[in-house]
Amino acid sequence: MKCWSLVIVLMFMMLLATAIAGPNARKCKKERSLALNACKSVMYGRLPSSYCCQRVRVTHAKCICPVITAKLVALVNVDLLTKLITGCGRKVPRRFKCGMRRWQASFQRECGWVFKKDDTYSDRFQSKETWQILRASLPTWDSHRGIWFSVATPKFAFMTWLAAKNRLATGERMECWNINVHIGCSFCAEPRETREHLFFDCLYSRKIWEALVEGLMGSEFTWEWTNILNQISRDARIDMSLFIVRYAFQDTIHSIWIERNRRRHGEKPITNTILVRMINVMVRNRLSTMRRNGVKKYEDGIRIWFGTRRLSKRL
């Protein structure tokens, strides 16, 4: 059967059988031939002629449905064909699916339209299951709790995520790209800048971290990177103090990295005392906006911040 003939045949995919005793095979073949010849113009985007509509009204669905396949269904707009058929005066029942059983049986053989999971096949598509099959399954990364949390500042969270994944362009990582690049710390005389040194083994950044959260963390205070990440990623209901530590941590990571880049590009350096004041203002402003937004669990944030944060006299 020619390609245009297949397209025309699809016009009749939604027809309802009009009689219990249908025509025999020879009569069906003749009906299909008459319908195809009468409706050729439809394939060129024209409306059905009066003779075409006549054939639509009298052709038996029993003669058309057996030739409908999944491949043919994929070539046409079913809604448009339904409108053309009803426009010719033939009623199309709701949810009528001409030849559907045959399509389902031939999905896998002809089109591969069935969906396989665990050696079983289904005609239902679920995007979630498909994504789980396609993606590479990795162990859960527990540190996400301390990075992606409600009301965090996106740019701070993103910078912290890069640091947690060790994807910041520290001296250690740049050495892998260019052996002639300066890989030392921009704040001290450390010859090799690593993530752990920058946050917070370096004396410059350690004093900033101490001045901001030592009073808030109390006996749990630490400047070791791994211990900080474990503390802010605890699987517990977030309280106000934990939220402030998380937010101050992200703000500090972002501010120190920005200052580090400024120094590497020859700009005027900022002392750690000024940087502490800048971070203090940003944390305070965030807590104030959360309080004004009426979130009850964050109402005491600004009081806790003022009551526990203390600037070190060494700064």
Residue 23 pLDDT grade (very low, low, confident, very high; cuts 50, 70, 90): confident
* Per-residue confidence (pLDDT) for residue 129, from 0 to 100: 76
What angle in degrees, to the nearest 10, is found between the helix axes of 203-217 and 272-292?
Answer: 40
Q: Say what percent of the chain tops pLDDT 90.
A: 36
Question: How many whole angstroms separate alpha carbon 79 and alpha carbon 49?
Answer: 19
Q: Do the Cβ atoms of 238 and 261 come closer than 8 Å?
A: no
User: Cβ distance 280 to 244 under 8 Å?
Assistant: no
pLDDT at 229: 94
* pLDDT surpasses 90 at 209: yes
Inform me whether the pLDDT recorded for 168 exceeds 80.
yes
| pLDDT band (50, 70, 90) for residue 112 | very low
Instruction: Give the pairing of strands 115-117 and 120-122.
Output: antiparallel
3-state secondary structure of 180: coil
Residue length, the chain? 315
CA 201/CA 195 separation, integer angstroms: 9
Q: Judging by beta carbons within 10 Å of its beta carbon (0-12, 13-18, 19+), is residue 20 exposed, middle or buried?
A: exposed
Query: Quick one: pLDDT band at residue 90, thresholds 50, 70, 90?
Result: confident
Instruction: Indicate if the pLDDT at residue 118 is higher than 70.
Output: no
Residue, of 16 and 271, whose pLDDT is higher: 271
- For residue 178 the two structure tokens come to 């260019």
**Helical (H) or strand (E) element with 27:** helix 25-38
pLDDT attached to residue 104: 46
What is the pLDDT at residue 17? 38
Choose the weakest-confidence range: 10-24, 112-126, 132-146.
10-24
3-class secondary-structure state, position 122? strand
In this prediction, residue 13 carries a pLDDT of: 43
* Confidence class for position 97, pLDDT limits 50, 70, 90: low
What single DSSP character describes residue 192? S
Overall average pLDDT of the 56-83 stretch? 71
Task: Give the contacts of 299 (CB within 8 A, at least 6 positions apart).
Answer: 291
Q: Which of 67, 63, 76, 71 is nearest to 16 (CA)?
A: 63
Give percent of the chain with pLDDT exceeding 70. 74
pLDDT value at residue 306: 87
pLDDT for 195: 96
Q: How far apart are CA 287 and CA 142, in angstroms?
A: 26
Tell me which long-range contacts 99-104 makes (C-beta under 8 A, separation of at least 24). Answer: 99/13, 99/65, 99/66, 99/67, 99/68, 99/69, 102/65, 102/66, 102/68, 102/69, 103/68, 103/69, 103/70, 103/73
Instruction: Evaluate if residue 244 carries a pLDDT over 60.
Output: yes
pLDDT value, residue 309: 65
Q: pTM of this prediction?
A: 0.60
Which two three-digit tokens encode residue 193? 């800048």
* Cα–Cα distance list, 252 to 47, 115, 226 (Å): 69, 49, 16
| Contact by Cβ (8 Å): 9, 36 | yes
pLDDT at 113: 46
Residue 274 pLDDT class (50, 70, 90 cuts): very high
Residue 116: pLDDT band by 50, 70, 90 thresholds? Answer: low
- Whether the ω angle into residue 107 lies within 30 degrees of 0, i.e. cis, is no
Within 8 A by CB and 6+ apart from 274, the residues are none
d(CA 288, CA 286): 5
Q: What's the whole-number average pLDDT of the chain?
A: 79
Give the 3-state secondary structure percentages of the chain, helix then strand then coil, rounded to 5.
Answer: 60, 0, 35
